[in-house]
Amino acid sequence: MTKKSTLTFIVISIIIISGIITINLFQGKDKIYQQGARSNESQIEKLEIYLKENEEDPTANLNLGLRYYHDQQYKKAISKYKKVIELEPDNALAWHRLANTHVLQEDFQKAFNVRQKVVELEADATSYLNLSTLDVLFEPSTALKHAKIALDLAEKSKEDNIDYFKMWHDALQQFDKQQKSGDISEGFITLIKSEISLEKTLLLEYIGRALNADVNKETENELVELRGKIHSYQSNILDYSDLSSG
């Protein structure tokens, strides 16, 4: 090797090494590999700092709301979604996430009202399906109607998962019949076993409603066992197959 190229190599190496050292000094100790689990917290910190200066940024507020939601800080999440709605009253995503948060807070009445607002703003299949999951608690008679609209919209927009909407529609048809024949607990059990993904809190509410009605001992035991399983389940959203598969 010539002297010139040796010198060039040494100079470039020194520049690179000093670059790495500088980055290390700036960066602190967190490594990217370890950040996976902590990324939500650090993102919350970063977004909070950002929002101090840019309070009126709806996207950042919406993002922070979602981060709080994943961090189970539901009150803070709700305040962020409300802020977005204040800034952009027609932001359907903000309304949708607000409803999700209310459901996890077990505040189903508020969630129901918000879901109705979502349907007004964004009348798509998913919005109607979500609304019908709460209809059964407050206005059982409209649940099937909304599920039918959801199915029609899904077919119209050629959604890939039409079967999913159909499954929920069929379950509600069954539910409707059972309600009309006074078989309330069986109706809720039908919904629970429909294999539709639902919020943990909503499934527990369905079980509660079923238990409140007249049930035989065997069904009661089954529902209590199911409730135990749901409580021990980690995720916020689950369906019956998750539980039955253990």
Partner 1 sequence: MIEVMKIELYKIIKSKQYIFLVVSLFLFIIVALLFMFYNRDPNEINLFSLIYQVFAFNSDIFFPTVSIAFFSSIITKEFQDKTIKMVIGSVYTRQNIIIGKFLASSIVFSVAFLITVLTAFFIAYLLPISSIIYIDYEQLGTLNVFGRMMLITLSTLVFLISFGSFAFLVALIVRNQGLTMLIAIGLLMFYILIPSPDWLTDYIFIGKGVMFYTAFSFLEIPYLEAIKTVLVCILYLLTFIICSTIFFNRFELKDGS
Question: Would you tell me which residues interact with partner 1 (CB under 8 A)?
Answer: 1-2, 5, 9, 12-13, 16-17, 19-20, 23-24, 26-27, 31-33, 35-36, 39, 43, 46, 59, 62-63, 66, 93, 160-161
Q: Which is nearer to partner 1, 83 or 112 (CB)?
A: 83
Nearest approach in angstroms of CB 16 to partner 1 is: 5
Q: Are 175 and 210 in contact (CB under 8 A)?
A: no
Q: DSSP letters along 88-146, please?
A: -TT-HHHHHHHHHHHHHTT-HHHHHHHHHHHHHH---HHHHHHHHHHHHHH-HHHHHHH
Q: Which is nearer to partner 1, 63 or 130 (CB)?
A: 63
Nearest approach in angstroms of CB 32 to partner 1 is: 5
Nearest approach in angstroms of CB 160 to partner 1 is: 5
- CA 107 – CA 99 distance, rounded (Å): 9
Q: DSSP letters along 9-74, please?
A: HHHHHHHHHHHHHHHHHHH-S--HHHHHHHHHHHHHHHHHHHHHH-TT-HHHHHHHHHHHHHTT-H
Q: Which is nearer to partner 1, 19 or 182 (CB)?
A: 19
Nearest approach in angstroms of CB 221 to partner 1 is: 33
Q: Which is nearer to partner 1, 124 or 205 (CB)?
A: 124
SS3 of residue 198 by DSSP: strand
In 3D, which of 60, 43, 59 has the Cα closest to residue 51?
60
Q: Which is nearer to partner 1, 57 or 152 (CB)?
A: 57
Nearest approach in angstroms of CB 14 to partner 1 is: 10
Tokens of 125: 């299949």
Q: Which is nearer to partner 1, 31 or 231 (CB)?
A: 31
Nearest approach in angstroms of CB 33 to partner 1 is: 7
